[in-house]
Structure 1
Amino acid sequence: MTDFVLVAGTWLGAWAWDEVAAELRGAGHDVHPLTLSGLAEKQGVPAGQRTHVRDVVDEVERLGLRDVVLVGHSYAGIPVGQAAQRIGERLRRVVFVDANVPVDGESFLSGWPSDPVRQAIAGHDGFWPPLGAPEYAGQGLTDEQIARIVGGSPHPGATLTEPAVLAGPLGDLPATYVKCLLDGDEPMPAVAELLKSDSWELVELDTGHWPMFSQPHALARLLDAAGSRP
């Protein structure tokens, strides 16, 4: 039995993991989907990136979890990666699901053409609204699944613009990186560099960027396997 803490990316809350969590619980694991501050049922709570790191660390400590697998999807890889360093011996493994990884001194918006996102944040009172339905084409999602994502909550902009602060080399963590192939078949450069570490492994999933919706059973099996790694 493994304790999983599941954290979804922008616009999403703990609800995004319902199908994955059910399957992992059916396999005998304890599963703790987490909504980050400012999202879903926590809308209205002020949040920067440091807040989201604390959200993850506080959840692990509040529940007294040990031998825990932290799972971060998309944006959530940035706070989850930092939290993984901060929980020390409580960590069993960190899993990045088609995720951004934290780079010391850089933000989620660093290193890619992010001006449209910055403009959207500036034009929506400091929040990044969910993208329109056409932006999710080609990601293996049904219309119903796309509607669920589009219906998510605006994402606090400060969490996307604040820089990450690493406590040590991220490559030292025991980590699994899940690359979703419909979102591009090559990991981003920061991930490719980390995958050179003996502590990191790459696993591919033949689906799009939101596998908790498009392939929840395959993702749950993959997480189950990652949680059994030494």
Structure 2
Amino acid sequence: MPPTNTYVLVHGAWHDGQSWNRVAALLTAQGHRVLAPSLTGHGDKAHLLGPEVGLTTHVDDIVDLVLDQDLNDIVLVGHSYAGLIISSVANRIPHRVSRLVYVDAMVPTHGENAIDVMPLTQSLIDSAAATAQPWRIPPLPQFPAPFGLFGVTDPDDTAWLRSTLTDESVLCFQQPVELDNPAQALIPRVHILCVGSAPEGVTRRPLPPTQPNGEPSRVHELRSGHDCMIIKPAELSSLLLQEA
């Protein structure tokens, strides 16, 4: 029997753990253990959303899960905003993480927040500031194809995805990432970039040619909209299996 892996799949802003359903099913079918929790303020924890929920809250969510389940050698996968989360988790418990996988994700350096990594985020915060609840940011709107709802254009998938989305707290995008533990820099990293349908004005910061551990950067391109776990689950799962 081939060795099995433990995958912890972390969803991005506005989404919940259900966004990974298709990928989780494919990985599980190959005999791997998969956990795809919903972060505080999302999914079964949507009722906990408040202005005090921030990046630190979500890092605590994942660290607590790993420790409570006594998980080791995990493949920690983060989509979009969750690139900040998995980076911070690796800083807190590097001995539990075997690999970091950034799926069309924010890739921070020490002390950066979401605004630093993607300045467009500030416009969302500014828009929220003019509302009755300036601490909460609604999901991005649906755009005409090929951009769709986070890149999802299939009508059934779009309707389902819309039903799962919830607001995000401004603090999630304002709190900085801490990467001051030298051990986190030793963890191998993989980047999966969704290409071919980025909305105008959304730019990705170039990745450095080397990982923090000194190895060449490992980068895969996936022709897909942003929510590739919904649009291209088989292709994404294949890359996760290949890089575990």
Q: Is this a same-fold pair by TM over 0.5? A: yes
Matched residue, 1:192: 208
- Match for 1:16 among 16, 19, 26? 19
Matched residue, 1:120: 127
The answer to whether the 8 Å contact 2:121/2:173 transfers is no
CA distance in 1 between counterparts of 2:78 and 2:195 reads 17
Question: Offset at 1:194?
Answer: 5.2
Deviations 1:99-157 (A, max 9, x none): 00222222112252334201233226211111221177333631222333333111122
Matched residue, 2:8: 5
Deviations 1:26-46 (A, max 9, x none): 001000001111112112324
Give every structure 1 segment of 4 or more consecutive aligned residues whose post-TM-superposition deviation is greater than 4 Å: 193-196
Match status 1:147 vs 2:135: no
The answer to whether the 8 Å contact 2:189/2:211 transfers is no
Deviations 1:71-90 (A, max 9, x none): 00000110111102222221
Letter in 1 for 2:142: A
Matched residue, 1:203: 220
Give the secondary-structure state (helix, strand or coil) at the position aligned to 1:205.
strand
CA distance in 1 between counterparts of 2:92 and 2:144 reads 35
Matched residue, 1:41: 44
Number of paired residues?
225
Letter in 2 for 1:159: C
Deviations 1:162-200 (A, max 9, x none): 11111246653211000111255x8523x3365584164
Match status 1:167 vs 2:180: yes
User: More displaced, 74-83 or 100-109?
Assistant: 100-109
Percent identity over paired residues: 30
Structure 2, unaligned runs of 5 or more:
none
Normalising by structure 2, what TM-score? 0.84
Normalising by structure 1, what TM-score? 0.88
